[in-house]
A and B are shown apart, each in its own frame.
Chain A
Amino acid sequence: GAGVSQTPSNKVTEKGKYVELRCDPISGHTALYWYRQSLGQGPEFLIYFQGTGAADDSGLPNDRFFAVRPEGSVSTLKIQRTERGDSAVYLCASSLFDTDTQYFGPGTRLTVL
């Protein structure tokens, strides 16, 4: 079946603007994760959803970052008042509830000018 998909693949915005990044998980996967990957680094955990609720948002860097998953499937990562330091690849992953294997999407490359 289809894997994790993310849109857009690339997003260029100006400092101070608001952006939304979308993730479509693998069908049937109840767990969904957001990570951020800076150039030359490993992915860094941001937030984890189990169903519709955020089970762990300890990785969100500050209150400019927010994520939702209203129907337990598609998730949107929202960044307010973007800063140049927010530039990175934002990765989404999903997994079945009872397993640990996380499957990643291709990512959204965010560039803040």
Chain B
Amino acid sequence: GENVEQHPSTLSVQEGDSAVIKCTYSDSASNYFPWYKQELGKGPQLIIDIRSNVGEKKDQRIAVTLNKTAKHFSLHITETQPEDSAVYFCAASYSGGGADGLTFGKGTHLIIQP
């Protein structure tokens, strides 16, 4: 089955700086890669996703890049703000036109230092 590795487990950055979280996956058939943000006591919230037919996607301060050959993808957050502090999870799945269960990484605790 799919295996997703995520690094780092904790990331501390100064407010206004950029943050990068990296993930690798094992199953070359995976073609859908979402990123979720989880705040304490809440469920995961989708922040951005990318499919294997594109290499990069951007939404305001958030961007995701995908390298299918190397089987890795990354989340980039620019101009970090205190409200960005949370746990971030990457995930991967294969979806042949329908829905599928996601395989998650172990998460990155992002801390924004004021």
On whether the beta carbons of A43 and B44 are closer than 8 Å, the reply is yes
One of B11-19, B60-68, B96-104 contacting the partner: B96-104
What count of chain A residues pass the 8 Å CB interface test? 27
For window 62-94 of chain A, which residues contact chain B by CB distance below 8 Å?
91
Chain B residues with CB under 8 Å of A97's CB are 98-99
Minimum distance in angstroms from B107 CB to a CB of chain A: 5
On whether the beta carbons of B97 and A43 are closer than 8 Å, the reply is no
For window 32-48 of chain A, which residues contact chain B by CB distance below 8 Å?
33, 35, 40-45, 48
On whether the beta carbons of B99 and A106 are closer than 8 Å, the reply is no
For window 32-54 of chain B, which residues contact chain A by CB distance below 8 Å?
32, 34, 36, 41-46, 49, 51
The CA-CA distance from A82 to B106 in the complex, in Å, is: 25
Query: Is A14 an interface residue when CB atoms closer than 8 A count as contact?
Result: no
With A100-B49, A100-B95 known as contacts, the answer to whether A106 contacts B42 (CB < 8 A) is: yes
With A104-B44, A106-B43 known as contacts, the answer to whether A50 contacts B104 (CB < 8 A) is: no
11 sample A-B contacts, Cβ–Cβ < 8 Å, listed by A number:
A33-B101, A42-B104, A42-B106, A42-B107, A43-B89, A45-B101, A48-B99, A48-B100, A97-B98, A102-B34, A104-B45
Given contacts A97-B99, A104-B45, A107-B43, 18 further A-B contacts (CB under 8 A): A31-B99, A33-B99, A33-B102, A42-B6, A42-B107, A43-B44, A43-B102, A50-B98, A56-B100, A59-B101, A95-B99, A97-B98, A100-B32, A100-B51, A100-B93, A102-B46, A106-B42, A106-B43
Chain A residues within 8 Å of B, Cβ to Cβ: 4, 31, 33, 35, 40-45, 48, 50, 56, 59, 91, 95, 97-107
